[in-house]
Structure 1
C-alpha cells in the first residue's frame, strides 16, 4: 500500500450517471490534496476544512471505492478512512456536503455500532419512499439512502442487468427444465452482483447458495414428478455482505450463461465485435471481460440462435445443388469419407469460369490457408490474372489439410474448369505440390512463386553473408537480375557476378531449380507473357 494518496475533494455539485453508465460529478468545485494513510480522521477533517474554508462541525463526508464508483460510503471515523485507502489505489474521491442536507432520521446516532450489512439487490428508492432499515452512521452500507434520493432526483440510469433481479420470482416459480433454472440463477447473480455455488445439482433437485460464509441467500428447486419441469421450493432473497465480501465475490464470467445477455443484440447486429462486447459489459453490467471471454460469449450466443456449426455440414449437399441450380455452368464438387463425414469441397462459379476463359492470362496461382475454429481444416484457392495483372478469383475449396490427396483432388477439379487450355500453375514449393502439380498439369507448366523463393534465399543469405545489411541488399539484387533476365546471356552474366560475390549463393541458386522460376530458363515462356 502506498504511504500517500492523491485525494480529489468535491463540494457543491452532484453525482450524475451518464448514458454510458459512468458516474460524473457536475457543478460545484473541486480541490485536491495529498493525504497520508497514517493520518487520523480528525486530522483529515482539519486539513480538508482548512483547504475549503469550512466549519468542521458543519460538513458531511462520503467517499467512493474503485470497483463501485456509483456508491457513496460515509467517511466518519478512522476505520472508514482506512477502508478508503485499502479499496482505492493511487487516488480517491471525497464528496463534501453540509450536514443540513442529511435527511432527518436517515442516519442514526453513534450510540450503538451496527453490523456491516449491504444488500446487493438494493433498488433505487423513489423520492419520499420508506427509509431503508438497518442503515446507521457506523454501517458501511453498499448504497446510502441519501445517495438513492440523489439518484432519483437526477434520473440516474440503472445498470441494464437490473432487469434480471426478478429472474426468480419466489417459491412456486416454475421453469421448463433445469437448464432454464440455471440460466435464471446466473442472470440474477449478474443483476445483484454476487457469486453462487451449487450445494446440490441434479435434474431432480438443486440447491444454490451464496459463496459468502453465513450469507442467508438460498434457493432450492425440484422437478415436478417425472417431468423436466422445475419448480422453486424455497427462496431466501437476502444477502449479508461486508465490503470485503463484495470485492471478493464478483459474478463469474461463464460464456454459455453470459451469452444470454447479448442474444437480442446478436440477432439484430450479427457483426457485433468482441471489443464492443467488452465495453458494453463494463458499461451495462459492471463486468470486465477479456477479449477471449467476449469472443467465446459471442460464439455461444451464435450457437444458441443459429445452432452448432457441426450441424451446418448436413446442409452442404443442399447448398451445392442450389449453387448449381441458380448459377448454371458452375462446378461444385463435394467429397465424403466412407462413413459419410465431410472431407472435401470444390467451388467455381460460372461467372468466374467465363471470366477466365474470356479475359484472363493462362496463369493460375494456387495457395492455401489454415482455418481456425473447432474443426480446423484448410482453405484452398485458385486465382487467375487478367490483362491488367489484377487478381481474378477463380475457384476455392475446403479440405481436411494440406496433403497430397486433397491437393490432387483440388487440382483435378481445377483441370476440369480449364479444359484443354494450357495454363501455368504458380505455387510455393510445398512438398505435396511438387508432386501433385506436375501429375495434373505437367512439369513444364509448374512455376515456383518467386516471393517465397526469395524469402528462402534471404534466410540462407543471413547464415552465409558476412558483409552486413548492405551486402545482403546487393545479393538480393543479384537474385532479382537472375530471376528477371529474359535472355540466356543476361542470366549467365548475372550468375557470374553472383558467383564472384559469393560462390555459396550461386550454388544455392543452381540447386533450387531455376528452370521453374527464372524467366530465361522457364520451358513454357509463352505462358507467362
Structure 2
C-alpha cells in the first residue's frame, strides 16, 4: 500500500491539506485547490514547494508533481508545504489609446473584463495559453531546442496575440517572419532569428514587436494550430495519461486553452507526442539486430534470438534471457509462470513472459519474447 502523502496548500491566511499519490497530476492538484479556494481559477495561480538546501521548486507540469512525490519518498517525509500565489500577467501596452490585442471595431478593451472578443472565457477564467504571449519578447532571446523550438513558440505567440505569421525565410539556419498584414495594412511587426554554429542554439537577432495593423483578435480557431503545436502541449500529459482519447484532447483544449482543434490534429498530435516521449517505434524495431549483437558481446551466456522472414526481412519474433537471470533461476523455487499480453501499438503482436518465484515470495523475471501471434 502506498504511504499517505499530504500537500499543505497555503493561500493568503488559509491552509488546506490535499492527499497526493504517485500518479497524481497537475490538473488533479489544481482542481482540488480551486474546489477549496473559491476565488482561484485553474491557470490563474502558480505553485511552489520547498526542498531542503534548495531554492523553491515550481509546480508547472505533471513531471514536477511526480518529482515532488519522489523527493518526499526519498527523504521519508509525508507532508510538503505548497505555496500558492496569483500570477501577475503582463497585459499588452496600449498604442495610441487603443488596446494592443483588440483593435477592431466592437472589440475595444473594457477595464471591467480581463478577456474580450470571440475567445472570451466565462467568469474571467484565465486560459493556460496566457503565458504564450511572452514567448517572443526581446533581441538576444535564446531557444535551446533550435529552429524547432523557435517555430513552435512563434506559432503559439501569434495564436495568443491574434495575428498570422508570414515566413520570408524558413530554413534550418535562419527564420525571418512578418505579420501577414504587412501588404494590406503595412504592419511593421517583424522577427529575424538565426542559428549560432558554436552551440547550436537559435537566437533572435532583430525584433520589431509592435503591430500597426487593425482588426487583430485572438480567435478560437487558428490555421497555425497544427498537430505539431498540439503535440508540444501534450508531451507532459502523455506521460501521466498515455491512454487519453483524441475526443478528450479536443475537449481539454477548448476548456483549458480556449481553442478549437480538429479531431485529426488531436489524434495525430497525440501520436507525435507519444513519439517524443517513448521514441519512434519503427526505429526501435530497426535497432533490434544491433541490440542482439550488443547483448551477446557484452553479456556472454545470454540467450538473445531475433527471427525475421528470410524473403522480406520482416520481423517475426524476438526472444531474450540475460545470463544473470538464467544463473539466478537456479536459486529460485522450481516454479515457472507463463503469461502474455497484447501489444497495442500499430505493429500489434504479443508480449510473452516467463517469470519465476524467489524464496522471499518475490517475482523473478527469467525470459521475455515478442511474437507476431
- 1:289 to partner: Cα distance: 1.9
Question: Would the aligned equivalents of 1:194 and 1:250 in 2 still touch at CA under 8 Å?
Answer: no
Cα 1:340–1:242 change in 2 (3 A) is: same
Cα 1:143–1:244 change in 2 (3 A) is: closer
TM score, norm. by length of structure 1: 0.37
- 1:220 to partner: Cα distance: 0.5
1:205 paired to 2:191: no
Structure exhibiting the larger radius of gyration computed from Cα positions? 1
1:172-321 matches, within 5 Å, as 172-176=140-144, 177-212=146-181, 213-214=184-185, 215-224=187-196, 228-243=200-215, 250-313=222-285, 314=287
Q: Provide, for residues 325-372 of structure 1, a one-character-per-residue CA deviation record: whole Å limited to 9, x for no partner.
A: xxxxxx99641356995510278xx5348xxxxxxxxxxxxxxx9987
Paired residue for 2:97?
A: 134
- 1:245 to partner: Cα distance: 7.2
Question: Would the aligned equivalents of 2:220 and 2:260 in 1 still touch at CA under 8 Å?
Answer: no
Give, in whole Å, the separation in 2 of the partners of 1:133 and 1:149. Answer: 20
- 1:294 to partner: Cα distance: 0.7
Give, in whole Å, the separation in 2 of the partners of 1:196 and 1:131. Answer: 21
Q: Give the counterpart of 2:316 among 320, 344, 349.
A: 344
User: What CA RMSD, in Å, does the superposition of the two structures yield over aligned residues?
Assistant: 4.8
Q: Give the counterpart of 1:161 among 129, 145, 162.
A: 129
- 1:141 to partner: Cα distance: 5.4
Cα 1:248–1:241 change in 2 (3 A) is: farther
Question: Would the aligned equivalents of 1:193 and 1:251 in 2 still touch at CA under 8 Å?
Answer: no
Give, in whole Å, the separation in 1 of the partners of 2:212 and 2:220. Answer: 14
Greater helix share, structure number: 1
1:491-510 matches, within 5 Å, as none
Cα 1:298–1:149 change in 2 (3 A) is: closer
Q: Provide, for residues 64-108 of structure 1, a one-character-per-residue CA deviation record: whole Å limited to 9, x for no partner.
A: xxxxxxxxxxxxxxxxxxxxxxxxxxxxxxxxxxxxxxxxxxxxx
**SS of corresponding position for 1:180:** helix
Q: Provide, for residues 169-191 of structure 1, a one-character-per-residue CA deviation record: whole Å limited to 9, x for no partner.
A: 31111223222221221221233
Give, in whole Å, the separation in 1 of the partners of 2:282 and 2:245. Answer: 23
Give, in whole Å, the separation in 1 of the partners of 2:115 and 2:134. Answer: 24
Gaps of 5+ in 1: 1-16, 22-121, 322-330, 354-368, 383-394, 400-409, 411-529
Q: Give the counterpart of 1:144 among 104, 109, 114.
A: 109
Gaps of 5+ in 2: 1-38, 44-88, 117-121, 296-302, 320-335, 353-367
Give, in whole Å, the separation in 2 of the partners of 1:233 and 1:246. Answer: 27
TM score, norm. by length of structure 2: 0.50
Give, in whole Å, the separation in 1 of the partners of 2:318 and 2:115. Answer: 65
Cα 1:278–1:240 change in 2 (3 A) is: farther
Give, in whole Å, the separation in 2 of the partners of 1:380 and 1:307. Answer: 19
- 1:315 to partner: Cα distance: 5.4
**SS of corresponding position for 1:165:** helix
